[in-house]
Amino acid sequence: MVHGKKLAEETLLPSVLEDDDAGTQSEKLQLWEQRVSRTEVGMRGLKDRRCSPDANELDGGERECEEEEEEEEDEEEERVISDQEYDTDLELGDKEERYDPTGQMSYKEACETLQVVPASCFLRHLQDSELNMMHRGLGPKGTKALAVPLVTNTSILRLNLRDNWMEGMGGAAIAEMLKENCYITEVDLSDNRLGDYGARAIAGMLKENSTLLSLNLSGNHLTDRSAEHLGPALVTNTGLQHLDLSVNALGEHAGQILGDSLSENTGLRSLSLAWNCIRGRGAVLLANGLEGNTFLRAVDLSFNGFGRDGAIALGQALKENLILEELNVSNNRIPPEGAIRLAMGLKANKTIKSLNMGRNPIQNAGCYGILKSIQENPDSAMETLDFSDITVNQDFEDLYATVKEIFPSLTVIPGGKFGTFRKAKSLKSVFKVVK
């Protein structure tokens, strides 16, 4: 109250002095201005002391308050930088745009912002049609920096980023880039630990990108959840022709999802699902999807668990599918009965040129049944039968000689040299003579 009264009195001072002489009035006016200035400073000091309760000097409160504000701003800046590290947005700032035809400038700025070392290999090959950056250890942030100039790059058509530990965030950055870039047609992202998060981002990209022709996602720890995202994307996308999903953890549920998607897909020409965990009902439903697909030319299903039921479903698919030319079902635990039932589909098929049944326990009976179906199909297009690591006997060898006369171009790859059993038999007779 005392402060307020004093301030009010000083404020009214000019009007009180209006009748005095000019010199006295000027001196008193200056005195009034100095008192008001001191009063205002004192008020600010009181206010600043609320920021620093221990401050004794007038300016000390101001300095300590300003330091606290600067610390808060620094903490806020650190939080923003931390968030930017995991952001997949490729716009790294509001810097004024400059003409950058090579992309080197934007790449260096992106590296500076993300605090990564620029890759000299990338800078040297920005204008090439093919960029090979395998095994460079880019990591998530290095991948994001690399993606920035690729958004507007018009030279690179084939991009190989295999084995760079980019993880989900790096994969998401590449996916965002491919939504904008309409020149890149081939991308290899294999062995990058993309996981389900990265697969989700890639699936979103496939729904928008119409120029990508080949995509390799092998060895990326993809699971059934990844299939839930990729399946619908394969129905929407009609431009992608070659997809590699091998060496992942796609399971039975993924087989069902991908089977439904393949029955509606109109773009893929080759598909690899090798080295996954597709078995049981998933294998059957995947085979059913192949039955309805009229565009795929080559399918690799090796190192799964199709077994008897999966082989039977594949045999049915081969009866209806008149487009497929190459099928690899090696290492699928297919028994002799499964092979014979699959062979029934080959009797009606007119397009299969290559069939790989190697390393399955189909025994000689399964091999014989498949070769017999080729003999009984005059319209068969078969050129290569692979029975690697499966032992066959003389009956199979004799049948092969007969089929070879009908189809001179047919090549059979057996598990061992023909005549093995014949030689063994002759050796036994020698032993009998010696005895």
Collapse the DSSP code of 160 into the 3-class scheme (helix H, G, I; strand E, B; otherwise coil) and give the result. Answer: strand
pLDDT reading at 94 higher than 80: no
Average per-residue pLDDT for the chain: 82
Q: What is the pLDDT of residue 426?
A: 40
Please tell me the distance from the alpha carbon of residue 326 to that of residue 335, in angstroms, as a whole number.
21
What would the mean pLDDT of 177-201 be, rounded to a whole number? Answer: 98
Q: What is the pLDDT of residue 88?
A: 55
Q: What is the pLDDT of residue 414?
A: 85
Laid out side by side, the sheet with 354-356 consists of 130-132, 158-160, 186-188, 214-216, 242-244, 270-272, 298-300, 326-328, 354-356, 384-386, 411-413
Q: What is the pLDDT of residue 87?
A: 54
pLDDT reading at 49 higher than 70: no
pLDDT reading at 204 higher than 60: yes
How much of the chain is in helix, strand and coil states, percent to nearest 5? Answer: 55, 10, 40
Q: What is the pLDDT of residue 100?
A: 75
Local confidence band at 415 (pLDDT 50, 70, 90 cut-offs): confident
Please tell me the distance from the alpha carbon of residue 15 to that of residue 27, in angstroms, as a whole number.
14
pLDDT reading at 394 higher than 90: yes
Answer whether 311's CB lies under 8 Å from 283's CB: no
Give the Cβ contact number of residue 210 at 10 Å.
12
Weakest-pLDDT range from 36-45, 173-182, 360-369, 390-399? 36-45
- pLDDT per position as a tens digit, 127-163: 999 999 999 999 999 999 999 999 999 999 999 999 9
Q: Mind giving me the DSSP string for 81-99?
A: HHHHHT--------PPP--
Portion of the chain with pLDDT greater than 90, in percent: 71
What would the mean pLDDT of 412-417 be, rounded to a whole number? Answer: 78
The residues of the chain that CATH labels 3.80.10.10 are 104-429
pLDDT reading at 98 higher than 80: no
Q: What is the pLDDT of residue 26?
A: 47
Provide the whole-model pTM.
0.76
Max avg pLDDT among 49-53, 58-62, 350-354 = 350-354
Task: Give φ, ψ of 412 to 5 degrees.
Answer: -115, 130
Local confidence band at 91 (pLDDT 50, 70, 90 cut-offs): low
Please tell me the distance from the alpha carbon of residue 192 to that of residue 215, in angstroms, as a whole number.
13
Collapse the DSSP code of 101 into the 3-class scheme (helix H, G, I; strand E, B; otherwise coil) and give the result. Answer: coil
What would the mean pLDDT of 206-230 be, rounded to a whole number? Answer: 98
- pLDDT per position as a tens digit, 316-367: 999 999 999 999 999 999 999 999 999 999 999 999 999 999 999 999 999 9
Q: What is the pLDDT of residue 251?
A: 95
DSSP lists the bridge partners of residue 354 as: 326, 384
Give the Cβ contact number of residue 146 at 10 Å.
29
What would the mean pLDDT of 198-220 be, rounded to a whole number? Answer: 98
The CATH classification of domain 104-429, taken from the options 3.20.20.70, 3.30.420.40, 3.80.10.10, 3.40.50.720: 3.80.10.10
DSSP lists the bridge partners of residue 186 as: 158, 214
Q: Mind giving me the DSSP string for 128-145?
A: SSEEE-TT---HHHHHHH
List the structure tokens of 178: 């491919």
List the structure tokens of 307: 């077994």
Please tell me the distance from the alpha carbon of residue 331 to that of residue 290, in angstroms, as a whole number.
19
Q: How far is CA 354 from CA 108, 346, 351, 357, 411, in A?
A: 49, 11, 9, 10, 10
